[in-house]
A and B are shown apart, each in its own frame.
Chain A
């Protein structure tokens, strides 16, 4: 009995010690006039109430760190401590966010340097009462230079730190896996391509996997950059003859361009490319198609064809749209030009699920902005055709791919702002009027994670739940199924 009492006492002491910061500064605390420099930069950002803890580290040599987090609605203050970084307790974090939905957290940081304590200017984290889609699907791949090695598709639960494999190329012959796409963010309706070994387009729908051979006599390549019709029946995709070359000057690295490209619509039920819905022209490059949220419009990028690669820097893509009749599987002319490429080039048109905004990427030329440091996100309010100021979202480095959350309140954007080389996913709140808040980097359990990560987050796509199809099922399909040719 004595042992039990003693053990309980020791356990109690230990638990108490864990909960109460013993070295908490109470006096002789210096006041710093600046906000602390933290990584990732979560100061003054707007976050969804269902996001995982925003763990961060304090830059510079710090011996101890205390953080007071208080919510403006609940008035509750929670203290967290760490050495150089802060890792929030997940339960406490969720309680803070749930209690202060629509309000904000005030974060006061105390740091100890050379036995002297400093209190930094507090910063706020605004908590939106709008949730973000629970999962983010992305490809992890080494950035560029023609060659690839290890890559895979993954899904990350944004409400926690769990990352799961969708499929990795070491399971299917070290091939190239690319261009994953979802029907309206539905995790049960997905497609992606594999190139080289076990090549094909894989469509996951209704728990089944279909492996397709999508090159036809009428198209210049396999299906390339895809987008689902909201009905789940069609997938529009470009067909491209893609080439690359390498620059010699420091301002540029790689150029990816098309020798030819067209846009087609694939009918999943009939397994055919719809002849009445294809944009196949010799005098123009069409690429990066997408459908509007209601499925009545087919958006795409188009540029007058030029001799490539001689004139690669002169190719500028307009943003266009054409009416699409989902009943008949046909497009209806004429083509509207929404953004004219007078001096800049547009790519990746993406319409918000509520149909109000069109987000796209703009760069000096071409359609592959990932290697263009000038590439930025732009947005048009389709109600009045006015451009929305996206300054808060952009950085001095590359912003390229983007995907909407199903409620139109959040986007994820690929950005190279952190190191200019590896693309990382930034989440950004979009207000009702389209105004972006300061974006924030997808949180990780270990704030140093991105320092050591040697993969880019390619094509981040917000999805509404977890993809339940087993990686082994996809692997079996890749290794055993024969690719079905299109009609």
Chain B
């Protein structure tokens, strides 16, 4: 190839590489940003020997260590997109270099295609990408050694190193070594390829009986690429095989690839652009809203949830739980909860949660309701049931609950662990002062929560017997604002107005203010369930509320449903009359 052509081709490669990295950045940032924020909570990179050697003592543990180190960036707004896009670029570039080792006439575009699979099958951790980096770097080292015997020896060693540090990179490496020797090696040396692959297959079995005591799957594939408790996703095989198969295909097509340089460049760049545009435009994570709200909740941006919900509506039950929580946190619960698409109990708190998000939500709601033991329990279960048995956000909640419950030694345990994590060190250190009982007692947030702690023991689970658990909360502390709002919200959504009225009497007797939605429900109660003008007058109903209710009653039979909804759709009596009754 002439120098001019080579320069032109490199420019095209460069352009496509930059385009791919930029596109990957946008793809992650637009569609998966909040998912990756969420995933950051399921690793806890620490600076302790316990953590480092603990990972190193597992196949592929060093790869996991690097992955968890880099995943700290997911905490920051642009972190996941930046790191993942660069890793995509890095993997593609290393693969491109390998392809060039087996044939000179190859374009970067060909190397990008297998990496696109990560767009189709996004991975929860960086470990799969880093395993590819290990494998490709190693095969480049291997292929750079001209002396055969030395190369074979280095190959055997590299497969071992890849296994212990970054399994299953050793399998990928062995296949790539095999391809290289098959394509470039001397005739009759195909057995080298077989030895490499055979060694990579044998090594985990040897390790199982000498170094590790682990299940077979973990021995081969490590437990860090994909969740070890679920079946191996077919994406794993697809991605793992795409690179060697791609290499073989490109090698096989090398003679047909000549000519038409400019046209090919334009077509491939255009194709790349179109594919990426489709991915960015239509590749949204199906639970994007829930993860987005979870992120806001974690950052304490409760108003952002309310604003988003008002702007875009609420699309799933996890988002609904967070929206209720946000309304309660921002003091807007009574005014707005009825505007949300109510689904019953599950909209207030997840039912008997088992999912990652469900357990976080349950802990958040219980904390808001000041059901400290439940918040602690859901946080604890969230930590222990996570893949790595750590969850820094819930560990922080554990610290808070132990401080409120005056269990200082348990709080210190988690503070110590969080102090060893760079991302959480600062927060953990700031909590240490509360380990002094006197300081804790004088700290407003702790004192306030202690004042509202459960007094009467009961065994009702908030996520199974929501109303009973709340009733005990309110019996102990009728002044627990959040619990009161949630309980009344729950009763109103269920249209259990008689029970609701029991609490209204308490509210009246305590001289508390009555939100509009309560007044509307009271009007409805006395007009449809109990005719008692004297009792009705004992409640402070605003004239406007009453007049509007009368107007509703008078026009209910006369105007069309659409008009009725337009005029009274925001009222409780409209909800009670026309919304389906929930279980």
Contact = CB atoms under 8 A, between A and B. Distances in A.
Are A and B genuine complex partners?
yes
Interface of A: 142, 145-150, 164-165, 168, 170-171, 174, 245-250, 252-253, 255, 309, 418-422, 446, 448-449, 451-452, 454, 471-472, 475
Interface string B186-223: 00000000000000000000001100011100100001
A191 B298 CA distance: 46
B420 A452 contact: yes
Contact of B457 (A145, A170, A252, A452): A252
Contacts of B49: 446
A418 B409 contact: yes
A252 B413 CA distance: 19
13 contacts: A150-B389, A170-B218, A174-B229, A248-B373, A248-B457, A249-B454, A249-B455, A250-B453, A421-B413, A452-B48, A452-B50, A454-B390, A472-B208
B454 to A, nearest CB: 4
Contacts of A252: 457
B435 to A, nearest CB: 12
B373 A250 contact: yes
A247 B371 CA distance: 11
A446 B54 CA distance: 12
Interface string B113-139: 000000000000000000000000000
B410 interface: yes
B527 interface: no
Looking at chain A's contact residues, the main secondary structure is: loop
Interface in B385-420: 385, 389-390, 404-407, 409-410, 412-413, 416-417, 420
Most buried by B among A248, A419, A472: A248
Contacts of A452: 46, 48, 50-51, 416-417, 420
Given A145-B380, A147-B384, A419 B409 contact: yes
Nearest to B401: A250
B384 A142 contact: yes
Contact of B459 (A147, A164, A247, A418): A247
B472 interface: yes
A250 B450 CA distance: 10
A448 B413 contact: no
B377 interface: yes
B469 interface: yes
A147 B455 contact: no
B577 interface: no
A420 B377 CA distance: 15
Contacts of A245: 459
Contacts of B371: 248
B479 interface: no
B61 to A, nearest CB: 15
B460 interface: yes
Contacts of A418: 409
Most buried by B among A170, A250, A252, A446: A250
A313 to B, nearest CB: 9
Contact of B48 (A171, A448, A475): A448
Q: Can you list the 3 inter-chain pairs with the closest CB atoms, starting with the nearest? A: A245-B459, A142-B384, A248-B454
Contacts of B223: 170
Given A147-B381, A249-B456, A446-B49, 10 more contacts: A147-B384, A149-B385, A171-B215, A247-B373, A248-B371, A253-B373, A419-B413, A421-B409, A448-B50, A452-B416
Given A248-B454, A248-B469, A448-B48, A419 B410 contact: yes
Contacts of A419: 409-410, 412-413
Contacts of B374: 246, 248
A338 to B, nearest CB: 32
Nearest to A247: B457
A255 B374 CA distance: 14
Nearest to A147: B381
B458 interface: yes
A164 B372 CA distance: 38
Most buried by A among B209, B373, B416, B460: B373
B580 interface: no
A147 B49 CA distance: 29
Given A145-B380, A247-B457, A451 B373 contact: no
A456 B373 CA distance: 20
Nearest to B208: A472
Contact of B389 (A149, A165, A446): A149
A452 B51 CA distance: 8
B461 A149 contact: no
Contacts of B420: 452
Interface string B449-474: 00001111111110000000100100
A170 B213 CA distance: 10
B8 to A, nearest CB: 54
B330 to A, nearest CB: 27
B459 A248 contact: yes
A248 B472 contact: yes
Nearest to B49: A446
B453 A249 contact: yes
B407 A145 contact: no
Nearest to B420: A452
B422 interface: no
Contacts of B460: 248
Contacts of B48: 448, 452
A142 B390 CA distance: 11
B426 to A, nearest CB: 18
Given A248-B460, A452-B48, A149 B410 contact: no
B300 interface: no
A461 B461 CA distance: 35
B341 interface: no
A203 to B, nearest CB: 21
A220 B486 CA distance: 42
A105 B208 CA distance: 42
B207 to A, nearest CB: 13
Contacts of B215: 170-171, 475
Contact of B456 (A142, A248, A454): A248
Given A247-B459, A248-B458, A451 B213 contact: no
A454 B389 contact: yes
Interface in B216-250: 218, 223, 228-229
A147 B417 CA distance: 22
Interface string B83-99: 00000000000000000
Nearest to A418: B409
A174 B416 CA distance: 29
Contacts of A471: 213
A446 B390 CA distance: 21
Most buried by B among A145, A165, A309, A448: A145
A147 B390 contact: no
Contacts of B417: 451-452, 454
Nearest to A171: B215
Most buried by A among B404, B409, B456, B472: B409
A162 to B, nearest CB: 13
Contacts of B50: 446, 448-449, 452
Contacts of A421: 407, 409-410, 413
B413 A165 contact: no
A149 B455 CA distance: 31
Contacts of A142: 384, 389
A171 to B, nearest CB: 5
Contacts of A246: 373-374, 377, 459, 461
B307 to A, nearest CB: 35
B416 A451 contact: yes
Contacts of B410: 419-421
Contacts of A446: 49-50
A250 B377 contact: no
Nearest to A245: B459
B30 to A, nearest CB: 34
A409 B46 CA distance: 41
A424 B427 CA distance: 28
Contacts of A449: 50
A170 B373 CA distance: 30
